Amino acid sequence: MNAGPDSLEVVAMQATRDFRARRFPEAAAGYERCVAMSPGSPALHFNLATARESQGDLPGAIRAYLDAWRLDPKEARIALFAGAALEAAGRREDAVTMFSWGDDLDLAVRRAKDDPALDPEIRRRSALADRVMRAHFTQLHAAAMDEFERRASESGGTDARPELSRVRSAIWVQTHDQPFTYRTPDQRPDLFYVPALPARAITPRGEFAWAAAVEACTQTIREEYLAAVQSGAQLSPYVEARTPSPIWRELRGKADWSSLHLYKAAQETPYAPQFPRTMAALAAADIVRIDGRPMELFFSRLRPGAHIPPHFGVANSRVTLHLPLIVPAGCSIRVGQAMHEWREGELFAFDDSFEHEAWNRGSGDRVVLIFEAHHPDLHPAERAAIQHAFAARGRWLRERRVPT
């Protein structure tokens, strides 16, 4: 049976012909009929939005883009187009919100601008998303520093204003608004970079006054970990199956490298209350915290034969600490140009913004407890300022809401 003249299929085909012929009012009217017939279709809302935007109806286009997004909040293209329309309407904060959600879903939202094979309109919107996001997050960092200094002055008088030039000049790598270069070979943090910090791949554990106290609790921590695993605690693949980077191809979604997180992205996991002795053992450690919670704290298991490929960590303002709990012979890590073999009960401190990789060539699981401490060269006010900057960025991301 042929579709009738008023069927959804026929009306949609005519609206598409009108759009391609640049008869945008007619196309918008057609897609409006389609949406009325099938209101749950994000694609039809999206088509209506592009037709309205093409005819100059920005408010109508924004409404339709956002309707499409509410129906399908996993489609990065909708976020890209909605963000561009919001920016054209002068709604910068809302535009950044949509662009950032799209960027979370698909890095192509900001990288498509560099692909000459793509549609020019996609590339234009991608370039806009990249520019707007860089401006927003660079200003967010500056505002966080202003707020931190103001609070310091208010609490301690004008003489208490801290020296924060190194932190102010820090670079949020993915959203910095000016070109920059890394200063040290093999060091390339992919999120936060403080160029003025001294660069050392490995920090002697003796530089941490609390190291011996933590090392003394190795057996206690190991016993607590083993008891939790035996009672049903499940380790998860450290590299999620959806991770896009090709370097993780061999580890995506696999238990060869797995973790049991107590804290992740400064959020407590359900497992944390099961480790009171571990948390007590770390009480004196200079752990990086955001809003009072450890940024990251987890047990890392590497199975026999597993290889963690060369990669870079997120920030050079931190030092990664490994407390080895179970280490069979044949387990090692490379940081920059330095090789190291873990030894049970002996803390190993390194800057993971240097390229690093690890192996388990042994016959059993390697298990280490991992947490992060501040870079030893940072003074207390700088450490607090960096935590404040991360907290400000995290709050903005958490508080994003679909524009109205």
CATH at 14: 1.25.40.10
Residue 312 has pLDDT above 70, yes or no: yes
In the prediction, which pLDDT does 166 show? Answer: 97
* The total number of structural domains that make up the chain: 2
Instruction: Kindly state whether residue 128 falls inside one of the protein's structural domains.
Output: yes
Residue 356 has pLDDT above 90, yes or no: yes
Q: How far apart are CA 271 and CA 333, in angstroms?
A: 27
Final residue of a structural domain among 108, 132, 156:
132
Final residue of a structural domain among 117, 132, 147:
132
The arithmetic mean of pLDDT across residues 154-177, rounded, is 86
Q: Higher pLDDT residue, 10 or 155?
A: 10
Which of helix, strand or coil describes residue 179?
A: coil
The arithmetic mean of pLDDT across residues 369-379, rounded, is 96
Q: How far apart are CA 288 and CA 13, in angstroms?
A: 57
In the prediction, which pLDDT does 80 show? Answer: 98
Task: Extract the tokens encoding 381.
Answer: 């006010």
Instruction: Kindly state whether residue 326 falls inside one of the protein's structural domains.
Output: yes
Residues forming beta bridges with residue 318, ordered by sequence position:
374
Residue 2 has pLDDT above 80, yes or no: no
Q: Please, what is the average pLDDT of the chain?
A: 95
Which of helix, strand or coil describes residue 373?
A: strand
Instruction: Kindly state whether residue 148 falls inside one of the protein's structural domains.
Output: no
The arithmetic mean of pLDDT across residues 166-188, rounded, is 96
Q: Higher pLDDT residue, 197 or 155?
A: 197
Same domain, 91 and 225: no
Type of residue numbered 160 = A
Residue 33 has pLDDT above 60, yes or no: yes
Q: How far apart are CA 187 and CA 185, in angstroms?
A: 5
Distance separating the N- and C-terminal Cα atoms of the chain: 42
Residue 328 has pLDDT above 50, yes or no: yes
Instruction: Kindly state whether residue 196 falls inside one of the protein's structural domains.
Output: no
Q: How far apart are CA 124 and CA 257, in angstroms?
A: 40
Q: How far apart are CA 238 and CA 193, in angstroms?
A: 24
Domain span including residue 322: 202-377
Same domain, 68 and 211: no
**1: pLDDT confidence band, cut at 50, 70 and 90?**
very low
Instruction: Kindly state whether residue 103 falls inside one of the protein's structural domains.
Output: yes
The arithmetic mean of pLDDT across residues 202-211, rounded, is 95
The answer for residues whose C-beta is within 8 angstroms of residue 257's C-beta and 6 or more apart is 237, 238, 239, 251, 300, 301, 302, 303, 306, 308
Final residue of a structural domain among 132, 158, 180:
132
Greatest C-alpha distance within the chain = 84
The answer for residues whose C-beta is within 8 angstroms of residue 134's C-beta and 6 or more apart is 175, 176, 177
**3: pLDDT confidence band, cut at 50, 70 and 90?**
low
**283: pLDDT confidence band, cut at 50, 70 and 90?**
very high
